[in-house]
Structure 1
């Protein structure tokens, strides 16, 4: 028997209200449900008889709250909440192997019960992929061969994204529809027309993988730097795109140059350096079978110092020669660190 057949609509509204706040005064709750306090008490008793643990609270006038245990109450979501749950499930299915199957089943169940008006928005969630954390603080993508957006300090707070913008872009990815937008990059606000491919959630930020029609090149855009985003109604034929949008984003992170950069040459094979420092904010390139060169780049100088020191320590532990080429903001803290370490008896 379905929940709606088992319980009248008034009880569903009552459950939804009990879920929305920790505790409700009895009089206020009765007013919100649209019944008398006497009828409210009877409805509370009916919920308890159905094994929903509604607790009475003391104090002036008394009140009610939904306790722990008992049956899992039905979730009553508004339109935006339902779509948000769908997006979260789609992201979990793409990034978390242990939860992937369960998230996919839950997403299918959600799709079955959603009103028809919301199903296209949920279907668009299939255009979203999520990237596993890199394990390092996330600096940002600057303008470059594969990325758009000015650099930003790694310690700054993560920006929010308009859910309507996210939904519009997800639908455009699904429907292969050209999108017009304005984009702020390096202090300049420019008009763009793009063919959207995938939305990627990485390091707590949203990115759009797309083909920029103005520059006729693949680009990655940060959603929080977009404004005046609009679907044009013009469809496009799909171009060859990277199969793995997350890998494309990772390559952009690795290839980008930020405010502070250090170059570290190590007399070790590339595979050995990657083994010990797998989550490097930059890239490692082989310069022979027993020699590699790492480029460490970030907006945060301490972050560059941290990973440069780590690579140097890996080389020292293996008796390998190492050379560091870095600007003063990185070199001076490294020298200070070296002096401190050599002073240890």
Structure 2
């Protein structure tokens, strides 16, 4: 098998570390591996597959001879993606920088792989919550068109980075020991106020926009329209941060244009690659973050009819947002391109 030179930008973060785990786990065909990060993280040693790699400071000259550049996300994408493309690499970017650019395909490989070939050097990875939702929508949409989606998310603190995870842990320990609770991170490190997440819910992820939706909520709406290539589908979203370490959960209500039974939905979802149905109320079987953390598949359960509308279904969807919601989805894009000889 032909092998490829791979660069990971953001190698020391949660998504970067997940890239490494998945490259080893999936036996990804790399020849050379370059680990890149900010100046602050440069010089760290990462032991990977029996070899020590020194993390290099990312510069615009870092991508010579790189075939595949996996960007873990963040502000660095805007600065370095054009340089990587100029050097001849294909960039698969996990940030929001290019997602809504009409020249950049926004890809979930199980949902819209045909759009990959339209890339001009950059392919965007969707928002984690969007990926998890469209994995559940697509197999139903292919059978009966969806008119409207109402989604409420219950998003793990790892979506806010390592610092948010550490803050949840520290707050739980403080509560247990009767110490003062410190909140410096959530709902966002750059925001003017911060709230306790331990034993709490925060109905804000990212900043509010003029329409009173958060940026995270608008990402789900706009990105789903683009991925599904259906701009007539009504979508409304409410995104909530919950005191869970890993795996996002979503309550998804869909209104269909025609009849589709609960069993029809279960059958369609069970056949769809990357989706597993966990739905047996009698045995109290349903998806939960603890069960999906570290797993590649998106789990769907609590599938039931919505009796308040003519053709409605309710779904409970849970997926590991660092895996399928980020690193795995990006790596699957690269694998698809290799399989279809797009490099």
**Which TM-score bucket, shorter chain as reference?**
under 0.3
Highest RCO, 1 vs 2 (Cα 8 Å, sep ≥ 6): 2
| Higher Rg of the two aligned structures | 1
Q: TM-score, normalised by structure 2?
A: 0.24
